[in-house]
Every structure is written in C-alpha cells, then in structure tokens.
Amino acid sequence: MSIISKDIQKAVALLKADKLVAIPTETVYGLAGNIYSEKAIKSIFATKKRPFFNPLIVHMPSVESLETIVSDVPEKAKLLADAFWPGSMTLVLKKQSSIPDIITAGKDTVAVRVPNHPVTLELLKQLPFPLAAPSANPFGSISPTKPEHVARYFKNDIEHVLDGGACINGIESTIIGFEDDEPIIYRLGALALEDIEAVIGKVSIKNKKEESPDAPGMLDRHYAPATQTFLTDTVSEDIKKHLGKRIGILLFKSDMKDDTITTQIILSQKGDMAEAASKLYDALHELDHQNLDVIIAEKFPNYGLGKSINDRLQRATFSI
C-alpha cells in the first residue's frame, strides 16, 4: 500500500503520537515532527542521518504563533513577516526558553516560517504544537519536490507522506538572521534577494562556508545528486571533455543539438526563472536515475532567482 495520501486526519493522529509525517510546502517537502516531542525530533535526525549541529526550521500556522516561539522581533523582521508570510522566507530570531535545545543545536536563536501551502496550513491549524520540518531527504542529497521523491527515499522509515502535489516554488526558503538588529541572508532561496531588499533595503549575504556555519545549508556539498555533476558557463566545451561517456545536460531555456549527449532537460523554454526553480530538483532527480556518467548543468544569469539556482547547482557539484 502506498504511503502517499491526502489524509490530513491521519497526519494529525500520527504527529500527536510522536511519529513523523512528510508534509508538502511551497518550497520542498518537509519531514515533520512535534517540536516539543524529544522522540519525534530525535527520529527526524536519525531518519535523515542529519548531524545534530544542524538546527531545524519551526513551521507555524500564522504570524500570531511567533510570540510563543521567539522572544524578540526586530523592526525589520516585523516588516518582512508582514510582507512575505505565509511564504518562502525563514527568519532566525532569539528563541523563547521553552524551545528545546535539540531544535536549535544549542543556539539561542530559532529558525521560524509560516509556509504557504493550503494542506500544511490546514494541518498546522489542527495541531496544538508547531512542526519542526527539515527537507524530507537524507542529509546532503537532492531535496524532494514531489511526494514520490519522498517515498523513494523513506518508504521503509515513515508511514505517511501527505500529498500536496508538486512544490510550486521548488527550492528551499531564503533564510534571514539578524546580527545587531541588521539583517543578514544565511541562505539564498525561493524568495529573491531583490524582493527582500525592496522591503528593508540593502541586505548582506553570508552564505559561504565558515568554520562553524550558521546555516549548514551553506555546506559546500549539499543538495547533491549521486552522479558526478558539473556547473559551467560553456556547456558545449564541457561536453568535449567527457566524450564517450553517458552525458546528461541540464539547461535553462534552449535545447542543444548534439549527438554525443544521452539526454537533456530544459527547465523553462520561455526563460522564466521561477518556472526553472520549480523544476530544478525534479530534473536532478530524473537525471540522477538514468545511469549517467556525468551531469553537466548550465549556469543561470546571476540575478533574481537565478542567483539562488546557481547557489544550489554549485553545491550539487564536486568542484567548488
């Protein structure tokens, strides 16, 4: 029997019983558990093989729930919450003491978000607790944007994937923290930098690897296919380096006429970066299951969502 179903009541019952449920969001599917259940949270880390130094995002049904989770909201965070929630933005704020250390990896801050998906908003409204929900994939691998991706990863480990269809935005939320009340982007994502700056002005980005990364979504290699993957401005040149191999190509908008490649996927024929972002991980899942020797991905224009897509593609490669 398939573990994929639209049954919200089953999800409520499992979550109340300290079990995990995979939930749809507009970014990627999450592996969710009750933030106050040590059993559930430990099994999120165990199921994903996620290291405990990597904190979890808390998902809430509405902005009003914020006061039970965080202790201080800077003015610019209020502006962002009003502008973008429900939506693909995560804020990192000072936590309430009631938030368990295992959620925050011992930090005094907690990452929070109101996701914008009708099924999960309904689920959150029916639950007496918020949900911790990292992406529903084994640590480091490609994030899931369809219920089938989750089932393929975890069919023996979880009982229920709540079906909300394909994720509309398709890459992870943009994470914004505050240092001395000034906003800093810890992870580029589904909400474009330009949209954020339109609300609160110039924002700095700190998403390169450091000694102790604030958001391990920053790790050099993350979101990665098992197949060796390259990112390049010059796809035709790179193909020549791999002649004789089974080559898969991932392109933004134009196809390639080249007999030496095995397969190609075009992310948006009309050149729409939002469409490309929504299809990105599904395309990587597809290519990764075609027994290719190598995947060559084309670099995106480096603005708007193109910047976030390039960030993910770069982390999918071995070469940075």
Question: Which residues are near Mg ion by CB under 5 A?
Answer: 135
110 in contact with ligand AMP (CB under 6 A): yes
- Tell how strand 70-72 and strand 89-95 pair up: antiparallel
Given the rule CB under 6 A, which of 49-57, 153-161, 239-247, 299-307 is the region that contacts ligand AMP? 49-57
Compute the least distance from the CB of residue 215 to ligand AMP, in Å: 4
57 in contact with ligand AMP (CB under 6 A): yes
- The set of residues, in sequence order, having a beta carbon less than 8 Å from that of 34 and lying 6+ positions away, is 15, 16, 18, 40, 41, 127, 129, 131, 132
Cis (ω within 30 of 0) for the bond into 86? Answer: yes
Contact criterion met (CB below 8 Å) for 274 and 305: yes
Q: Around Cβ 113, how many Cβ atoms within 10 Å?
A: 26
Given the rule CB under 6 A, which of 74-82, 147-155, 212-220, 237-245 is the region that contacts ligand AMP? 212-220
109 in contact with ligand AMP (CB under 6 A): yes
Out of 32, 40, 69, 111, point to the residue binding ligand AMP (CB under 6 A). Answer: 111
Compute the least distance from the CB of residue 56 to Mg ion, in Å: 10
Given the rule CB under 6 A, which of 52-60, 154-162, 193-201, 311-319 is the region that contacts ligand AMP? 52-60
Q: How many residues bind ligand AMP (CB under 6 A)?
A: 20
Given the rule CB under 6 A, which of 32-40, 113-121, 122-130, 209-217 is the region that contacts ligand AMP? 209-217
26 in contact with ligand AMP (CB under 6 A): no
Residue 57's binding partner out of Mg ion, ligand AMP, none, with CB under 5 to 8 Å set by partner kind: ligand AMP
Compute the least distance from the CB of residue 56 to ligand AMP, in Å: 6
- Tokens, residue 244: 């004789």
Residue 109's binding partner out of Mg ion, ligand AMP, none, with CB under 5 to 8 Å set by partner kind: ligand AMP
Compute the least distance from the CB of residue 115 to ligand AMP, in Å: 11
- Tell how strand 294-298 and strand 247-251 pair up: parallel
Compute the least distance from the CB of residue 143 to Mg ion, in Å: 6
- The set of residues, in sequence order, having a beta carbon less than 8 Å from that of 102 and lying 6+ positions away, is 38, 41, 42, 45, 52
Q: Indicate the residue among 143 and 264 with the shorter CB distance to ligand AMP.
A: 143
317 in contact with ligand AMP (CB under 6 A): no
Given the rule CB under 6 A, which of 102-110, 161-169, 254-262, 301-309 is the region that contacts ligand AMP? 102-110
Compute the least distance from the CB of residue 307 to ligand AMP, in Å: 17
Q: Indicate the residue among 104 and 135 with the shorter CB distance to Mg ion.
A: 135
Contact criterion met (CB below 8 Å) for 176 and 187: no
Q: Indicate the residue among 213 and 248 with the shorter CB distance to ligand AMP.
A: 213
Give the binding site for ligand AMP (CB under 6 A): 54-55, 57, 92, 104, 107, 109-111, 134-135, 172, 175, 177, 186-187, 214-217
